[in-house]
Structure 1
């Protein structure tokens, strides 16, 4: 029987190495793929994968939409193209109106997403992804909301294909996400999933200055390429 500790990665770099072992490298490199990093939390992992494959990457910004008076309860997410994904069950359970969702989505876009665009992309718009093959990198899939928001955004940007890659995800989400993307590569599909952080023993610091340093020093981060 596998113990929970056997499912853990040392850190994001260890997870990236193990993810690189299962990715179809030749197909990705020869297929002219662009890596999309699904969040700031995934930059350490995505940069390592980009370096291992020699592929350029871009950040896709999104923010949680939380329930009224309960900032710990995520009821949806909005991306930088203002695509919105919501948890229908929670919205109905808490009697949350669509007006509230759209209002919060726009507020998060104005207050947080645009701020990140200026900070980490020097104000540049998301790179033109129409017709591109995409490798979507996520440091871990927990509820699937970030993945769904990213996938919905990419589809509406008219990308050619999407390969979703993550070190770990709940087994229960695999079949559903498989219907939305061309293929999934996951190191550990876990039946009794706890949360993403649980499966990293010693996570590398992800403070804004650390992330900025990685992006500025990387030859693969598209917005800052010379």
Structure 2
């Protein structure tokens, strides 16, 4: 039987509902740094950071796909070149690990570095050691992206990690619960379809609109200095 789940109107509706359940005072008191997990999540993350009054960073990652099947994700690599793999799929398709690691490095050089230069002006991920982190994602189907971001943050020796998403698969929520200090979610779904299925009509975002949000936001850490210089010039 299909689950009766109310869809979010769009990312801003999802962000508003997620904001309602987040412990604002606790997050602010702990001087939490919010980390946006994908370009698709920028709209949602910026809205939440405005509501919390907290700054955010971006953490870039790219999926690794099976050869001859560009829709089958077998792993993911982050901007620190941390990798999380779906070993069951890799074995099932008899995929060489040399291929997987080669693809991971290619995605890092061709896509992740490009995003770092474009959206963070070439700067490395901010200093997050000993900071409390709130990871935000617009939806979680497999947990691969969340897992690689958590792995990366652990490698950076952050103090704590909370994870927030409007919609998540039930089994993934259970597995991530062992990796983070807290999970905040609106809908936990057993028979998960895909993230877009739980939004009535998502607001379309382009690289230009994302860049505009980041450049105009007073909450996006990598460009805050640039924002200050712009305001002083007015």
Task: Please say which of residues 90-99 and 160-169 is displaced more in the overlay.
Answer: 90-99
Give the whole-Å Cα distance in 1 for the aligned partners of 2:93 and 2:140.
25
Give the whole-Å Cα distance in 1 for the aligned partners of 2:90 and 2:18.
35
Q: CA shift at 1:3, angstroms?
A: 5.9
Give the whole-Å Cα distance in 1 for the aligned partners of 2:158 and 2:96.
32
Aligned residues: 225
Give the whole-Å Cα distance in 2 for the aligned partners of 1:153 and 1:166.
18
Give the whole-Å Cα distance in 2 for the aligned partners of 1:151 and 1:133.
12
Question: SS at 1:131's partner residue?
Answer: coil
Q: CA shift at 1:100, angstroms?
A: 1.0
Structure 1's 70 and 20: CA in aligned 2 closer, same or farther, altered over 3 A?
A: same
Question: SS at 2:188's partner residue?
Answer: strand
User: TM-score normalised to the size of structure 1?
Assistant: 0.97
User: TM-score normalised to the size of structure 2?
Assistant: 0.94
Question: SS at 1:173's partner residue?
Answer: helix
Give the whole-Å Cα distance in 1 for the aligned partners of 2:36 and 2:171.
23
| Unpaired stretches in structure 1, ≥5 consecutive residues | none
Give the whole-Å Cα distance in 2 for the aligned partners of 1:66 and 1:109.
13
| Unpaired stretches in structure 2, ≥5 consecutive residues | 226-234
- Which residue does 1:47 correspond to in 2? 46
Please tell me whether the aligned partners of residues 3 and 191 of structure 2 are also in contact (alpha carbons under 8 angstroms). no
Give the whole-Å Cα distance in 2 for the aligned partners of 1:86 and 1:7.
32
4+ residue runs over 4 A deviation: 1-4
Deviations 1:178-207 (A, max 9, x none): 000000000111122111001111111111
Q: CA shift at 1:111, angstroms?
A: 0.3
Structure 1's 83 and 3: CA in aligned 2 closer, same or farther, altered over 3 A?
A: closer
Give the whole-Å Cα distance in 2 for the aligned partners of 1:162 and 1:209.
30
Deviations 1:149-208 (A, max 9, x none): 111111111100000000000112222110000000001111221110011111111111
Question: SS at 2:81's partner residue?
Answer: coil
Alignment root-mean-square deviation, CA: 1.2
Deviations 1:95-129 (A, max 9, x none): 11221111111000000000000110111111011
